[in-house]
Structure 1
Amino acid sequence: MKLYYDPDCGICTQAGRWLAQQEVRADILPAWSDEEFSSKVDPQRFSRAIPLVTDDGHTVYGVVAVGLVLKTSQHRSLRVLGRCLLSSIGRLPAEKVYALIAQNRWRLPGSTCSLPRRS
């Protein structure tokens, strides 16, 4: 699995670095770092949510991407969190929080996001 983050966004870069330290079984890579990004990731969706290219070649975004990666962690608490994010009960509130953060990421402390702002 490959999870791609926006290397021009401070929030995305910090989140990517944190995930890479959590002993997950996924490559955490800056966007545009390999050919698979260009061929598997929709640029419009990438502007709103982090993409994960699964081992079978499918691309998922946002909460589902994060949940799938967390489920592979060596840390039990993160595996549980991943399952919660993917559950029918946890997914809807997680998606609302994710969307709120994504829509306002350039306003957050430490952000250097250069993705186009939606009006």
Structure 2
Amino acid sequence: MSELPVLIYDGDCGFCTRSVRWAERLPVRMRILAWQEADLAAYRTTPERARHEVLWVAPSGRVFGGAAAVAELLRSARLPWPVVGWAMSAPVLRWVAERVYRWVADNRSRLPGATPACQLPPEQRPGHRHGS
């Protein structure tokens, strides 16, 4: 595995790309990869999972998805972000964070920064590799 954590996102989604650009400004040492360009098997994940949620692959190889991935990203940053990440991981707030994340992910084609590609089914999006 990598000595740095890896953030894997949907490179065909404008909202996702804008969100990752924000994450790049956090003081976090990480690799950032669009899932369309990543060797997902090497990261112990699948295209189906990567289409469904953002992924955080820890140096240990553990894969976090969705709200848990965002929480891990924030926990890896400098203050005040780790506090937010820990709060998102707390049992009561984890439930809320997961629901909010799923709503955002399910509606990303309607959010600021979305592109027409966000509205296409995954197999019709630019950069989709058939058989991946």
Sort the Cα spacing of 1:105 and 1:18 in 2 relative to 1 into closer, same or farther, 3 A: same
The amino acid that maps onto 2:96 is P
Number of residues of Structure 1 aligned to a counterpart in Structure 2: 115
8 Å contact 1:25–1:69 — kept in the other structure?
no
Shift of 1:98: 0.6
Q: In the TM superposition, what are the counterparts of 1:36-75 in structure 2 within 5 Å?
A: 37-39=40-42, 40-74=44-78
Distance (whole Å) between structure 2 residues aligned to residue 115 and residue 46 of structure 1: 16
* Matched residue, 1:89: 92
CA distance in structure 2 between the partners assigned to 1:104 and 1:87 by the alignment: 25
TM-score by length of 2: 0.78
1:55 partner letter: P
Q: Structure 1 pair 115/16, CA: closer, same or farther in 2 (3 Å)?
A: farther
Query: Match of 1:105?
Result: 108
Give the TM-score normalised by the residue count of structure 1. 0.86
Query: Which aligned segments of 4 or more residues in structure 1 are displaced greater than 6 angstroms?
Result: none
Q: CA deviation at 1:20?
A: 1.1
Query: Which string of whole-angstrom CA distances, capped at 9 and with x for unpartnered residues, describes residues 38-75 of structure 1?
Result: 4322222222210111111121101111111111112x
Q: Give unpaired runs (5+ residues) of structure 2.
A: 123-132
Q: Which amino acid aligns with 2:111?
A: L
Shift of 1:114: 5.4
Preserved CA contact (<8 Å) 1:9 1:111: yes
RMSD of Structure 2 on Structure 1 (CA): 1.7
Residue segments in structure 1 that go unaligned for 5+ positions in a row: none
Matched, 1:4 2:8: yes
SS at match of 1:44: helix
Shift of 1:92: 0.4
